[in-house]
Amino acid sequence: MDKFLIQGGQKLEGEVRISGAKNAALPLLAATILADSPIRISNMPNLRDVNTLVKLIAGLGVTIEYVGDMVTADTSTLNNQFAPYDLVKTMRASILVLGPLVARYGEAKVSLPGGCAIGSRPVDQHLKALEALGAHIEVENGYVHAKVDGRLKGGEVIFDMVTVGGTENILMAATLADGVTTIRNAAREPEITDLANMLIKMGAKIEGLDTDTLVVTGVESLHGCDYAVVADRIETGSYLAAAAITGGRVRTTHTDPALLECVLDKFEEMGAEVTRGEDWIELDMQGKRPKAVSFRTLPHPDFPTDMQAQLMAVNAIGRGFATISETIFENRFMHVPELSRMGANIQVEGNDAVVTGVEKLSAAPVMATDLRASFSLVLAALAAEGETLIDRIYHIDRGYEHIEAKLQGIGAKIKRVSG
């Protein structure tokens, strides 16, 4: 199993080119199922999760090619609507094929994803929403079997909580439904707007982009198009955090400051100088120790849960103390014991954590537990005294493209070791 060996103490400086967003790439891939002519998606990040979904879609019989940063898909060869447990269990976002399959082919059998390290993460809202559009749903032997006679029917969907995946699944399904669908309490993450923009390019009729009410007027068919995946705001924030924790200066390029304003505000509150360009962001910590900052994770446009672990790591060496509340997932502090092994002072009570900054972290063997938590350990290791070994980095490979090369490019001493 691969591990990272990181020698801490370097002030990171330079430029990092940001990749396409994993969380946009996955729904865009699922949406290819809706197109009746070939579709090409560029700026596709080369990640384990993207490869998993490409494999799943290929298993449906779709002719799908993934070369460089480009995916081409042609659904004319699709011959089944089955997503097996083996693939779905490795990536929860596989459930995103459910809506497109039932909308276009009237039937789908998709494995239930099950829980994961950060919480139980049910898909009840996805299923309830599809039922509201007339799908008949049965859950049997760990599989969701969805069926509809003819087309789905437009209807009113009101989510009980803000769900990113649920909004995406039903948005895709509604594009081919008969009539108008109103999605209320919809998630507003930039990746949803990216999906809506591609669906519109495919011929869909969607209004209310960037708001919590999406109105979709169904059409009979959607066609292929060329589309580029939006920049990864979480990857952007993660590399800016690397500058903040090492007192360095990093410019992220091929990104968009508008995607992560709330996170940039927090960096400024820490005392960093943040400069925004049209498609770049630079963070200069000017060798200073950041001030610890409090925040609460909430749906977009508020502070993203996917940046919680990284900012906790920066707070760990901050001046003063900060309170962090996690309101999206029930078990998303698994990085705390690992950060504590490196000398961080963090007290957890339920979904709140109080971080009291220490002057120095120290190297220790640690273990990655989930995707974003893993990056918080990389950050801590970059700032720590000594050499840190991070185990189970397969979690990182799910979501950070070329991470060693990007970090080495800004002066980090990181290498991948196996065994």
Cite the active site residues.
116
In angstroms, give the least distance from the CB of 195 to ligand UD1. Answer: 10
What single-letter DSSP state applies at residue 153? B
User: Which residues from 253-272 bind ligand UD1, rule CB under 6 A?
Assistant: none
From residue 44 to residue 83, the character string flagging contacts with ligand UD1 as x (rule: CB under 6 A) and all else as - is ----------------------------------------
Q: Count other C-beta atoms under 10 Å from residue 67's C-beta.
A: 8
Residue from 6, 54, 98, 123 in contact with ligand UD1 (CB under 6 A): 123
Nearer to ligand UD1, 372 or 406 (CB): 372
The yes or no reply on residue 296 touching ligand UD1 (CB under 6 A) is no
The yes or no reply on residue 165 touching ligand UD1 (CB under 6 A) is yes
From residue 310 to residue 339, the character string flagging contacts with ligand UD1 as x (rule: CB under 6 A) and all else as - is ------------------xx----------
* Spatial contact of 18 and 409, defined as CB atoms under 8 Å apart: no
In angstroms, give the least distance from the CB of 191 to ligand UD1. Answer: 6
The yes or no reply on residue 226 touching ligand UD1 (CB under 6 A) is no
The angle at the Cα of 230, spanning 228 to 231, to the nearest 5 degrees, equals: 125
- One-letter amino acid identity for 319? R
Position of tokens 């990092």? 16
Beta strands in 75-148 (DSSP E): 82-83, 107-111, 136-140, 143-147
* Spatial contact of 339 and 380, defined as CB atoms under 8 Å apart: yes
Nearer to ligand UD1, 3 or 126 (CB): 126
Tell me how many residues contact ligand UD1 (CB under 6 A).
Answer: 22
Residue from 76, 80, 86, 124 in contact with ligand UD1 (CB under 6 A): 124
Task: Tell me the C-alpha distance between 264 and 245, whole Å.
Answer: 14
SS3 54: helix
What region does 127 belong to: left with phi over 0, alpha with psi -120 to 50, or beta?
alpha
Position of tokens 């909308």? 103
In angstroms, give the least distance from the CB of 158 to ligand UD1. Answer: 13
Q: What are φ and ψ of residue 227, in 5° steps?
A: -150, 150
Which of 268, 307, 289, 294 has its CA nearest to residue 355? 294
The yes or no reply on residue 302 touching ligand UD1 (CB under 6 A) is no
Residue from 104, 126, 188, 395 in contact with ligand UD1 (CB under 6 A): 126
The angle at the Cα of 237, spanning 40 to 11, to the nearest 5 degrees, equals: 125
The yes or no reply on residue 99 touching ligand UD1 (CB under 6 A) is no
Selected range binding ligand UD1 among 32-40, 123-131, 134-142, 146-154, rule: CB under 6 A: 123-131
In angstroms, give the least distance from the CB of 91 to ligand UD1. Answer: 8
From residue 3 to residue 42, the character string flagging contacts with ligand UD1 as x (rule: CB under 6 A) and all else as - is --------------------x--x----------------
Nearer to ligand UD1, 21 or 62 (CB): 21
In angstroms, give the least distance from the CB of 71 to ligand UD1. Answer: 16
The yes or no reply on residue 173 touching ligand UD1 (CB under 6 A) is no
Selected range binding ligand UD1 among 121-129, 238-246, 358-366, 406-414, rule: CB under 6 A: 121-129
The yes or no reply on residue 305 touching ligand UD1 (CB under 6 A) is yes
Q: Count other C-beta atoms under 10 Å from residue 150's C-beta.
A: 8
Nearest residue to ligand UD1, by Cβ distance, number only: 165
Selected range binding ligand UD1 among 64-72, 160-168, 208-216, 346-354, rule: CB under 6 A: 160-168
Q: Count other C-beta atoms under 10 Å from residue 140's C-beta.
A: 8
Task: Tell me the C-alpha distance between 204 and 216, whole Å.
Answer: 8
In angstroms, give the least distance from the CB of 48 to ligand UD1. Answer: 13
The yes or no reply on residue 125 touching ligand UD1 (CB under 6 A) is yes
Which of 156, 150, 63 has its CA nearest to residue 103? 150
Nearer to ligand UD1, 148 or 162 (CB): 162
* Spatial contact of 251 and 264, defined as CB atoms under 8 Å apart: no
* Spatial contact of 250 and 240, defined as CB atoms under 8 Å apart: yes
- One-letter amino acid identity for 80? N
Beta bridge partners of 71: 41, 66
SS3 356: strand
Task: Tell me the C-alpha distance between 129 and 145, whole Å.
Answer: 14
Residues that bind ligand UD1 (CB under 6 A): 23, 26, 92-93, 119, 121-126, 161, 163-166, 187, 191, 305-306, 328-329
